[in-house]
Copies of this chain bind each other. A is one copy, B any other.
Amino acid sequence: MAEYSVLGRGVVRTDARDKVTGRAKYASDVHLPGMLTAKVLRSPFAHARILSIDTSRAERLPGVKMVATGRDIPPVRYGKWMLDRTALALGKVRHIGEPVAAVAAVDKETAEEAIELIRVEYEEIPAVFDPLEAMKPGAPIVHEDLDGYQPLPPQRLSQGNILIQASLKHGDMERGWREAFLIHEDCYSTQPVYHGLMEPHEAVAAVDSGGRATVWSPSKAPFELRRALASIVGLPVSQVRVISTTGGGDFGSRGSPSVEPICMLLAQRTSLPVRMSLTVEEEFVGSYYREAATVTLKVGVKEDGTLVALQGRIVFDTGAYSDVLGHIGGATGHLAGLYDIPNFDVEGCVVYTNNTPRGQCRAPRTPQPIFALESHMDAVARKLGMDPMDFRLKNAVEDGDNLPGRGLLRNAGLKQTLHAVADYLRKEKGASAPFRGWGIACGERTLTPVAQAGPASSAYVRVNEDGTATLFSGISEVGGGQWTAMSQIVAEVLGIPFEHVSVVSGDTELVPHEGGTGGSLTTGRVGTSVRLAAEDARGQLLRLAALRLKVREEELEIGRGQVYAKGTPETAISVADLATAALTSPGGSILGTGRHLREKWVASLAEAKGMVDSAHYCTHAACVEVDAETGQVRVLKYFACHDVGFAINPLLVEGQIEGGVVFGLGYALTEEVINQRGRVLNPSFMDYHLPTAPGLPRIEYATISVPSGLGPFGVKGIGEPPTVPVAPAIANAVYDAVGVRIKDLPLTAEKVLKALKGKTLP
């Protein structure tokens, strides 16, 4: 790593200054002449037929430009995985808060007043809120006409509310159970949690005189949003331009259309720009958040601790729409991702209910199975009388192991992270104290080769006449420092200072196609296209320099803004001079193009088909103290060790680890969207408890580097993994402290206190 001049350095984020000085432009900073404000009328019922809608009084209100119902807009269905929803309800509502009508008016107050004037006649019908109930025959059906939808998942085995079923099998379960010395079975459940956005969903849409639409939205996948919006409003994609504004938090919430479809439909109809934003309260019913899960596990183990069998079942509640559909395959795999278990049988399903919609949230579908798995492994180890660390080290996957459904593992660092945590514990654990305990848990975010190849990414790098470079990329800066890391790659490859790289991003009109930011894949996937684009630009510079210096390209070096023949820096031509000369040379201005080569990735895997690379593994350790009188859990110390492959920017990696752990602490201890028969009872930051700075422990971390064979410079993703093992580490620590195992997240004081009742305490 010593050979890098910009990579591996904790340079200050390119977006830092604008963010701390308030100059960053959010969607709410977009002001257009004549702009209207949109508001929606939401369903008060979880499940009801719409008998009639009377918008006449609302339409007569001065200042109201448009009142739309489901019948006034194209009946286009859309959705992330299945086309099962419309922008405004058609025929019936499926959850409390579903948009039934929309108003565009001259200001917010008028729009709100108009909403009050709309009269809807509903016929309430039986609803279902528990996914286990929803799976039973005779349960109220959320989507009667599901088979008419496109695309219907091929794995859809059942009818009714079961949207999809998946299974992952490996080995011979009978043999596994036969070999087991001990079999342990239990059930775990997790709660729905909200992303906790500081900037609620907001968008501005404008349609020009030619019918071409522009949408400003803090989308993390502007090209995906463009595709979705174009189909919803019935325009070709080039007639829709999405401009990604600064996002006030993403955490998985910015990947699917939210307020944009209604906003755009109203702009189309009124021929005026329209702004629509959600209130914090609306965020809890009008967006989506992490799905609740029920995970049942039965594990067999030999007397020496060797795992021999795992049987499991995961049920995900997707709420009224199908955003969770694609999570189930990965979730079943996560139960097989940490330990080498020869016999394995996991089933999963995603179930519709009349709850508010669920969807992607930081490390989608991972914290739920990992909470179950890592709580369960702790329990098994303790039943065996083994140290949980030794138990994990004995069974942890390593290079060459086969991950069911994924392939042969390589470049994996799980054991190294376990060893690092073991070292930490030897130093930090000290003598045991009453009501204090330590817990460890592992995590992974290990994707299949196909997922690693991911959506297509392309990038351009232009070298400017003053020797600076401009990166054109479709990635959005969602807060993780994406632009900074990409700029570092460009600077490194071109041998110019980091400060000399700027980024043009997030506007579908201006940048090449990009799948989007997310899945802890940005640095690896987008970084590959950026690296190749920069290398292409460098090649153009070198060709030009070779002509001028009259040497062969291979004899040239690039660095500190100069190109020179090896060993003779006095021959140097500056990158600035080369870029200027290029303007009047046959090759033209320096523009490198690059893309994340799906073929190249797949080819590099072909040698061992079905290999898993870029596997991110981590191990966390937590020390908690339990207040026996209140049940309150206080986290005293926290240590996270991650295999990052290679840290392009250690400061950004630190930020992701710290932020991810805090995200996980909320999930473990305080956060829960409380639903009562489909109604959210705590839709505000007063009642929904995000972790706050005063209550946080010091978070220490270490990184190890087992370079990825696929990511540029060996990088692996870091955006999601740190949030994954936090809850089980805390739950295991609570068990260690007071001997009770909380199997239902979050670990509230109430639950702990209840579990402690009747228990003899130290």
Contacts and interface: CB of A to CB of B under 8 A. Distances in A.
Interface of A: 17-18, 21, 23, 29, 31, 33, 208-210, 230, 236-238, 456, 458, 460, 462, 464-466, 468, 470, 500, 502, 504, 509-510, 512-513, 529, 583-586, 588-589, 591, 593-595, 597-600
Contact of A238 (B17, B500, B583, B584): B500
A589 B595 contact: yes
Contacts of A464: 237-238
B591 A502 contact: no
Contact of A593 (B23, B468, B585, B591): B591
A594 B230 CA distance: 30
A23 B208 contact: yes
B238 A589 contact: no
Residue among A33, A238, A465 with most chain B CB within 10 A: A238
B17 A513 contact: no
A594 B588 contact: yes
A466 B591 contact: no
A512 B586 contact: no
B588 A458 contact: yes
Contacts of A585: 599
A470 B502 CA distance: 22
Given A17-B210, A209-B18, A464-B237, A510 B510 contact: yes
B502 A589 contact: no
Contacts of A509: 470, 502, 504
Contact of A589 (B29, B209, B513, B599): B513
Of the listed residues A458, A504, A509, A583, the one surrounded by the most CB atoms of chain B closer than 10 A to its CB is A583
Contacts of A29: 33
16 contacts: A17-B209, A18-B208, A18-B209, A21-B209, A31-B31, A230-B466, A236-B468, A237-B466, A238-B468, A458-B589, A502-B509, A512-B589, A513-B583, A513-B589, A588-B593, A589-B595
B470 A238 contact: yes
Nearest to A22: B209
A636 to B, nearest CB: 39
A502 B238 contact: yes
A451 to B, nearest CB: 14
Contacts of A512: 462, 588-589, 591
Given A589-B512, A591-B593, A238 B598 contact: no
A637 to B, nearest CB: 38
A597 B586 contact: yes
Closest 4 CB pairs of A and B: A588-B595, A238-B468, A456-B583, A236-B466
Contacts of A588: 456, 458, 512, 529, 593-595
Contacts of A236: 466, 468
Contacts of A209: 17-18, 21, 23
B583 A458 contact: yes
Nearest to A230: B466
B510 A466 contact: no
Nearest to A227: B465
A208 B22 CA distance: 11
A458 to B, nearest CB: 5
A466 B231 CA distance: 12
A238 B594 contact: no
B510 A504 contact: yes
A237 B513 contact: no
B513 A591 contact: no
Contacts of A504: 509-510
Nearest to A600: B586
Nearest to A21: B209
A599 B586 contact: yes
Contacts of A599: 585-586
Contacts of A502: 238, 509
Contacts of A586: 597, 599-600
A601 to B, nearest CB: 11
A502 B90 CA distance: 36
A238 B502 CA distance: 9
A512 B537 CA distance: 14
Contacts of A595: 588-589
